[in-house]
C-alpha cells in the first residue's frame, strides 16, 4: 500500500494541527470567558506550549481548528508571526467530536500532519521520535503513548494494543477492561490518507460523537500501518478547575520554580507566595498568603483573605482542596 511518506519528507513537509474548538463545559465557570486551550500553565496558554513543541520538530505551518470563543484564540495568535510560525484557522461549526473536528481539515491539508488536542498539556521527552518513526517509510500513522501505572488514567483516555514491533492493532476509547498499561496520549501523526477513514467514521453510542479512535481503528482495519511511540514524559488532560491547578503545580515542580509571577503583576512586598501563579495585571493589595493557587490575568485582590488551593479570576474564586495533594 502506498503511504504519504514513502518518498521521504523534510520538516517543511509537515504541518501542525491543534484541535481547539470544544467548549469545555466541565471547567465551568472559566469556560465562559476563556477557550480552554487559552488557560495558562505557568502563565502561558496551553496552546502556546503546544506551538513551541511543534516548532521544536521543525514545523512552521500550523492550522488551529476553532469554535467556542474562537475570536480570543485568533486575537492572541494572529497570523502566528509573533511566535515564529504561520497560523491558519479552520472553524468547526458544530461540536460533534474529535474526528468531526479533524474532518474539517480535509480541504485544507494535503501533507502529513502532527495533531495535538488543544486541552491536553504535554511534557514530551523525544517528540522528534514520532517524526522519525513516520519518516522511516511504510507508516501512515503514529500514536504517542505512555506506560501508565494508574488504570483510571487509561480508562479516561484510550487504550492501545501493539505487537513486538510497536505496530498498533487495536485502540479502544475509554476502555472498561484493560489488557495492558499503554495509554494513548492525544498526540498523533497522520498522512492525508487518514481522511478516507474519517469519512467512514460513524457516530458512537457512547457519546453520540465522531470519535477519532473509531477512525483510527477503521484506518488500521483498512491495512494502513500505524505505530506507537513512547514520547510523552507526562501529560495532563485539563477537564476541571482542579486539573488546571494541579497541572500548574506539577509544572512548577518540573521546572524547579517556586512561583511564576508575571512581570506585569503588582504584589504587596510582604505577601507570602508559595506555588503561586500570578498572571498579567494581577494586583495583590495586602500581605496575604497565596499558596498553591492561580490568579488569572486581570485579577485584583483587595481583601485580606488568604488564597489557598484556588483558581481565581476577576469574577470568581474556586477552591480546589484536593488539587496537587
273 and 180 in a common domain:
no
Please choose, from the candidates 319, 233, 238, the residue with its C-alpha nearest in 3D space to the C-alpha of residue 41: 238
**pLDDT score at 7:** 47
Q: What residues contact residue 122 under an 8 Å CB cut-off, 6+ apart? A: 49, 50, 53, 116, 185, 187, 232, 235
Q: What is the pTM of this model?
A: 0.92
Coil, helix or strand at residue 50: helix
Domain boundary residue among 237, 266, 289?
237
Query: Do 262 and 302 share a domain, yes or no?
Result: yes
E strands of 191-258, at which residues? 226-230, 232-237
Does residue 155 contact residue 178 with C-beta atoms inside 8 Å?
A: yes
Separation between Cα atoms, residue 112 and residue 179, nearest integer Å? 31
pLDDT at 1: 57
Range of the domain at 216: 11-237
Q: Are 230 and 262 members of one domain?
A: no
The reply to whether 204 and 127 lie within a common domain is yes
Same domain (yes/no): 63, 166: yes
Domain tally for the chain? 2
Q: What is the mean pLDDT of each run of 10 residues along the chain (325 residues)?
A: 52 88 86 92 97 97 96 98 98 92 95 96 95 94 96 94 97 94 96 97 81 97 98 94 96 97 98 98 98 97 97 94 61
Report the CATH number at residue 158.
Answer: 3.90.550.10
Of 205, 237, 269, which marks where a domain is finished?
Answer: 237
Structure confidence at residue 131 (pLDDT): 96
Domain-terminating residue out of 237, 270, 301: 237
Amino acid at each position: 500500500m502506498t503511504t504519504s511518506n514513502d518518498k521521504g519528507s523534510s520538516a517543511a513537509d509537515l504541518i501542525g494541527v491543534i484541535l481547539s474548538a470544544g467548549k469545555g463545559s466541565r471547567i465551568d465557570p472559566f469556560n465562559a470567558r476563556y477557550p480552554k486551550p487559552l488557560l495558562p500553565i505557568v502563565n502561558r496558554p496551553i496552546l502556546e506550549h503546544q506551538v513551541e513543541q511543534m516548532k521544536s520538530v521543525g514545523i512552521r505551518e500550523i492550522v488551529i481548528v476553532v469554535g467556542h470563543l474562537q475570536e480570543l484564540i485568533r486575537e492572541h495568535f494572529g497570523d502566528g508571526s509573533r511566535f515564529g510560525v504561520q497560523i491558519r484557522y479552520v472553524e468547526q461549526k458544530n461540536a460533534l467530536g474529535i474526528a468531526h473536528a479533524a474532518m474539517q481539515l480535509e480541504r485544507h491539508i494535503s501533507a502529513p500532519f502532527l495533531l495535538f488536542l488543544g486541552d491536553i498539556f504535554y511534557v514530551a521527552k523525544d517528540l522528534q521520535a514520532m517524526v522519525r518513526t513516520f519518516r522511516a517509510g511504510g507508516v501512515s500513522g503514529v500514536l504517542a503513548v505512555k506506560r501508565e501505572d494508574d488504570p483510571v488514567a487509561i480508562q479516561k483516555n484510550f487504550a492501545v494494543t501493539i505487537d513486538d514491533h510497536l505496530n498498533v492493532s487495536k485502540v479502544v476509547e475509554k476502555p472498561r477492561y484493560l489488557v495492558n498499561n499503554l495509554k494513548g496520549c492525544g498526540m498523533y501523526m497522520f498522512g492525508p490518507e487518514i481522511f478516507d477513514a474519517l469519512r467512514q467514521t460513524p457516530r458512537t453510542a457512547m457519546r453520540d460523537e465522531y470519535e477519532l479512535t473509531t477512525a483510527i481503528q477503521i484506518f488500521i482495519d483498512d491495512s494502513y500501518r500505524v505505530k506507537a511511540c513512547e514520547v510523552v514524559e507526562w501529560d495532563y488532560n485539563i477537564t476541571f478547575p482542579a486539573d488546571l491547578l494541579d497541572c500548574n503545580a506539577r509544572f512548577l515542580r518540573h521546572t524547579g520554580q517556586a512561583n511564576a509571577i508575571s512581570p506585569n503583576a503588582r504584589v504587596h512586598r510582604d505577601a507570602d507566595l508559595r506555588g503561586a501563579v500570578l498572571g498579567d495585571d494581577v494586583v495583590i493589595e495586602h500581605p496575604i498568603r497565596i499558596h498553591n493557587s492561580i490568579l488569572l490575568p486581570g485579577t485584583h485582590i483587595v481583601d485580606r483573605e488568604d488564597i489557598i488551593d484556588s483558581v481565581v479570576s476577576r469574577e470568581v474564586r474556586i477552591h480546589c482542596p484536593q488539587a496537587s495533594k
